[in-house]
Homo-oligomer: A and B are copies of this chain.
Amino acid sequence: MLQKQKLFIIKIGGNVVDNEVALHAFLKIFSAISDACILIHGGGKIATSIGNKLNIESKYIDGRRITDDDTIDLVTMVYGGLVNKKIVTVLQALNCNAIGLTGADANVIPAVKRPVKTIDYGWVGDITADHINTDKLGLFLANGLVPVFAPLTHDGQGHVLNTNADTIASSLAVALSAIYDVRLIYCFERKGVLENVDDDASVIRLINNEKYAQLKTENKLFAGILPKLDNAFAAIAAGVNEVLIGDANDLVRNTTGDTIGTLITK
């Protein structure tokens, strides 16, 4: 069997996107990766700040934004326009042939509006990896393009949907694992998963299923990291080769064999 080509799917969070200096530093590092890459970004704080000026109130339930009519227009502008096109334009200046996308563009990520149970989240999209159109993504990657995703999808009925960037990253990773050797990288405000939350030098370099069970039994992990690790192991179980959690500044090392963050494998 032919060896699959390496693909890095990299998600950057608010700590990188919301800070222009950090973002430019990150994009410089990102643009130097020679393997195939996909970038997924957020932009929540910028949306909140512009929303405040437009008198669009940011409403959250359990940490999730409620996306009413005004809010979907706001995030379509900010994520799909301001943040996405700025990133693409800076990457182009760094000789990285970026193409900005939402899930609606080329119908790459069709989604379903989240059904209302106890909470009406509004124009929020749920996606599954098996609906992702890997043919068009594969076409872009094969032609040297670097897809840059805003966290937006669509419902196939004419509506943009606000969609969690972590979920877009893991769904893309699962879907593209059929054709690529995928490493999914979550850039994070720490060096990796820490054994001691106060000590950046205590990064746990490798976590497999067995180690994860052991860490949970020993109660060694700080609470906030558990959902991230559960998501990572779900992606691994669904076919992703490796997930890495690490600092955006360590991206160069973390796209090599000699990683410096926390590498998660079977």
Asked whether A78 and B77 contact (CB < 8 A) given A104-B85, A107-B97, the answer is yes
CA distance A191 to B112 in the complex (A): 41
B156 touches A92 (CB 8 A): yes
Instruction: Please state if A154 and B107 are interface contacts (CB–CB under 8 Å).
Output: no
Chain B neighbourhood of A160, CB < 8 A: 85-86, 89
A81 close to chain B: CB less than 8 A:
yes
Quick one: copies of this chain in the complex? 2
- Can you name the residue of chain B whose Cβ is closest to the Cβ of A24? B158
Residue contact A80 to B73, C-beta cutoff 8 Å: no
- Complex Cα distance A97/B106, Å? 5
Contact of A53 among B54, B88, B156 (CB under 8 A): B54
Q: Which residues of B contact A55 (CB under 8 A)?
A: 53
Give the interface residue-count category, chain A: 35 or more
Q: Which B residues are CB-close (under 8 A) to A82?
A: 73, 76-77, 80-81
Tell me if A163 counts as interface (CB < 8 A to partner B): no
Q: How far is the CA of A54 from the CA of B82 in the complex (A)?
A: 14
Give A156 Cβ to nearest chain B Cβ, in Å: 6
Q: Which of B84, B89, B93, B156 contacts A93 (CB 8 A)?
A: B156
Q: Could you tell me which residues of chain A, from 132 to 169, have a CB within 8 Å of some CB in chain B?
A: 136, 139, 143, 145, 152, 154, 156-160
CB <8 Å contact, A90 and B50: no
Within 8 Å by CB of A136, from B50, B143, B152, B159, lies B143
Provide the residues of chain B in CB contact with A159, threshold 8 Å.
Answer: 89
Chain B residues, Cβ within 8 Å of A158: 89-90, 92-93
In the complex, what residue of chain B is closest to A135 when comparing beta carbons? Answer: B143
Does A98 have its Cβ within 8 Å of any Cβ on chain B? yes
A80-B85 contact, Cβ under 8 Å, with A105-B99, A106-B97, A107-B97: yes
Can you list 27 A-B contacts with CB-CB less than 8 angstroms, sorted by A residue number?
A50-B77, A53-B54, A54-B54, A76-B81, A77-B81, A77-B82, A79-B81, A80-B82, A80-B84, A80-B100, A81-B85, A85-B104, A85-B160, A88-B104, A88-B105, A88-B154, A89-B104, A89-B159, A89-B160, A92-B158, A93-B154, A93-B156, A98-B104, A99-B101, A100-B102, A106-B145, A136-B145
